[in-house]
Amino acid sequence: MLRAFFISLSKASWAQRSISRLGFARRASRRFVAGETLEEAIRAVEDLNREGLVATLDHLGENTAKAEDAVGAAQEVLELIEAIHLSGVKANVSIKLSQLGINLNEDLCRDLYLKILESARNSGNFIRVDMEDSSLTQKTINMVLSAVRSGYTNTGIVIQAYLRRSCEDIQTLIASNIPVRLCKGAYKEPANIAFATMDEVNRSYDDLAETLMTAGARWIYASADPRWPAFAAFATHDERRIDHIRRLEPALSARREWFEFQMLYGIRRDLQKALTASGYTVRVYVPYGTHWYPYFMRRLAERPANVWFFIKNLFRS
Ligand SMILES: Cc1cc2nc3c(=O)[nH]c(=O)nc-3n(C[C@H](O)[C@H](O)[C@H](O)COP(=O)(O)OP(=O)(O)OC[C@H]3O[C@@H](n4cnc5c(N)ncnc54)[C@H](O)[C@@H]3O)c2cc1C
């Protein structure tokens, strides 16, 4: 109920206009967002790198309404790629296709995505395409498949365990050697296309994780470029899911370079550090920029305790 409420708030433009202006909301968002500027984001990654963590940087933005905004968003990503290169931080980049205008004009979106891939390839970087709501699942898969088929292997995608279709999608992606980040899924989807209970989502996550771990071996030996991240990225803060993956390691004689764990900036830092200390690669998703509102609302939706944290900030103002 609370989850559905915050997810619908994340999409409501009236709420975005009023909440984004509030000082206490901006202050509360800073728990999950590294800052509004590129410089702040790079500094956050330097801090993570010092602790042995790597990062994926996301210049926040989604559902762009005008073509010129999509072009502007792509320009920000090009500047981000340049800044990563110049600063030497250990980070790749995450993008959203709705930010590049996929809902406005697919050709424009494809051109911008390929321009980003070209620039990333020139500076030895990798672009992960985040997965958004189910209206974009097939379009996102098609866009990434077509980029890889035209020679851009420095890109990967995200699979959401809550979608019933994911066990088929993951096979398509594995067959094309496309690196996959596996997450549970952060949007509100109807029961005919997404599992409705947490138990079902968790079971799906464990099954898909096993599929990815098994595929990792073939990919590593087939075509891995050492500059790209591991084939399988397990994006979760759920210790049971993480334990399941760790138990698969000896069972599959898996090697640690086949996979990495990923977590969100500001969430379970203790677990991020503990896994790093145990010798795993942990990549932190570091969002930054002024369009923090929908991302922040999804983080509130995930956990009722975050709402109390939000309210506490209101009373501190
Ligand atoms: C690196 C990364 C990239 C992602 N990319 C995408 C994407 O492209 N598309 C997409 O739909 N979703 C994405 N997600 C979000 C994901 O789908 C989940 O909504 C989110 O990760 C919460 O699920 P969980 O696996 O952590 O498990 P949960 O069962 O939700 O949480 C497990 C535990 O993690 C902690 N936790 C989880 N969320 C929070 C929070 N918001 N605040 C505080 N503690 C929390 C709590 O301790 C909780 O008990 C991404 C997540 C990560 C980590």
Q: Under 8 Å CB-to-CB from 230, ≥6 apart: which residues?
A: 179, 216, 257, 258, 259, 260, 281
- DSSP-derived letter for residue 267 is S
* Class of residue 176 by CB neighbours under 10 A (exposed 0-12, middle 13-18, buried 19+): middle
User: Which region, left, alpha or beta, applies to residue 270 given φ > 0 means left and ψ of -120 to 50 means alpha?
Assistant: alpha
Contacts of residue 189, defined as CB under 8 A and 6 or more positions apart, other chains included, come to 133, 134, 162, 163
The span from the CA of 317 to the CA of 307, in Å, is 16
- Residues ≥6 apart with Cβ < 8 Å to 104: 64, 65, 66, 67, 70
Please give all residues whose beta carbon lies within 6 A of any atom in ligand 1, as ranges: 130-131, 158, 160, 183-187, 235-238, 262-264, 267-268, 285, 299, 302-303, 306
d(CA 262, CA 271): 11
pLDDT at 130: 98
Q: Is the pLDDT of residue 9 over 90?
A: no
Contacts of 21 (CB under 8 A, 6+ apart): none
Cα 86 to averaged position of ligand 1 atoms, centre (Å)? 31
Using the atom order of ligand 1, give the atom closest to the CA of residue 185.
Answer: 17
Ligand 1 atom closest to 302 (CA):
41
Query: With bands split at pLDDT 50, 70 and 90, how would you rate the model's confidence at 204?
Result: very high
What pTM was estimated for this model as a whole?
Answer: 0.94
Percentage of residues of the chain with pLDDT beyond 90: 71
Q: Supply the pLDDT for residue 302.
A: 84
> Considering only CA atoms, which residue is closest to atom 2 of ligand 1?
235
Could you tell me the pLDDT band of residue 20, with boundaries at 50, 70 and 90? confident
* pLDDT score at 226: 67
> CB atoms < 10 A from the CB of 30, how many?
15
The pLDDT of residue 220: 61
pLDDT tens per residue, range 212-271? 998 876 666 555 676 777 789 999 999 999 999 999 988 887 778 889 999 999 999 999
Query: What confidence score (pLDDT) does residue 57 get?
Result: 98
- Residue nearest (by alpha carbon) to ligand 1 atom 37: 237
Beta bridge mates, 156: 128
pLDDT tens-place string over residues 101-119: 999 999 999 999 999 999 9
Q: Lowest mean pLDDT of 23-27, 136-140, 165-169, 239-243, name the range.
A: 23-27
Which amino acids are annotated catalytic? 130, 181
pLDDT at position 104 is 96
How far, in Å, from the CA of 263 to the mean position of ligand 1? 7
Say how far apart CA 230 and CA 243 lie, in whole Å: 19
Ligand 1 atom nearest 130 alpha carbon: 8
Reported as a single tens digit per residue, the pLDDT across 262-316 is 999 999 999 999 999 999 999 999 999 988 888 988 898 888 777 777 776 666 6
Asked if 160 and 180 count as a contact pair (C-beta separation under 8 A), the reply is no
Q: How far apart are CA 67 and CA 204, in angstroms?
A: 37
Cα of 236 from ligand 1 centre, angstroms: 5
Q: How many CB atoms lie within 10 A of CB 218?
A: 12
**Where do the domains of the chain lie?**
1-33+293-317, 38-291
Query: Two tokens at 48?
Result: 């993570």
Fold (CATH) for 38-291:
TIM Barrel (3.20.20)
- Please answer whether residues 179 and 230 qualify as being in contact, where contact means their C-beta atoms are separated by less than 8 angstroms: yes
Determine the residue of 203, 303, 306, 310 to mutate for testing ligand 1's pocket, defined as the one with the most ligand atoms within 8 A of the Cβ atom.
303
pLDDT at 307: 74
* β strands within 114-236, DSSP E: 127-129, 155-160, 180-183, 232-235
CA–CA dist 88, 268 (Å, integer): 26
Cα–Cα distances in Å, from 142 out to 136, 138, 169? Answer: 10, 6, 11
Cα(10) to ligand 1 centroid in Å equals: 16
> What was the pLDDT predicted at 244?
96
Mean pLDDT of the chain: 91
- Ligand 1 atom closest to Cα of 264? 53
Structure tokens at 243: 């334990």
Phi, psi of 157, rounded to the nearest 5 degrees? -140, 180
Distance CA 267, CA 50 (A): 18
User: How is residue 11 written in tokens?
Assistant: 């999409």
Q: How far away, in angstroms, is 68 Cα from ligand 1 center?
A: 31
pLDDT of residue 54: 97
Question: Which range among 38-52, 155-169, 209-223, 265-279 shows the weakest confidence by mean pLDDT?
Answer: 209-223
Higher pLDDT, 317 or 314: 314
What distance, in Å, lies between the first and last C-alpha atoms of the chain?
28
The residue ranking higher by pLDDT, 272 or 17, is 272
The pLDDT, as a whole number, for residue 219 is: 65
Quick one: pLDDT at residue 298? 87
pLDDT of residue 283: 97
Best residue for ligand 1 mutational test, from 135, 159, 184 (most atoms within 8 Å of Cβ): 184
Rounded to whole angstroms, how far apart are CA atoms 160 and 167?
Answer: 10
Of the chain, the percentage scoring pLDDT greater than 70 comes to 94
Residue 317 has pLDDT above 70, yes or no: no
Taking CA atoms only, the protein residue closest to ligand 1 atom 43 is 267
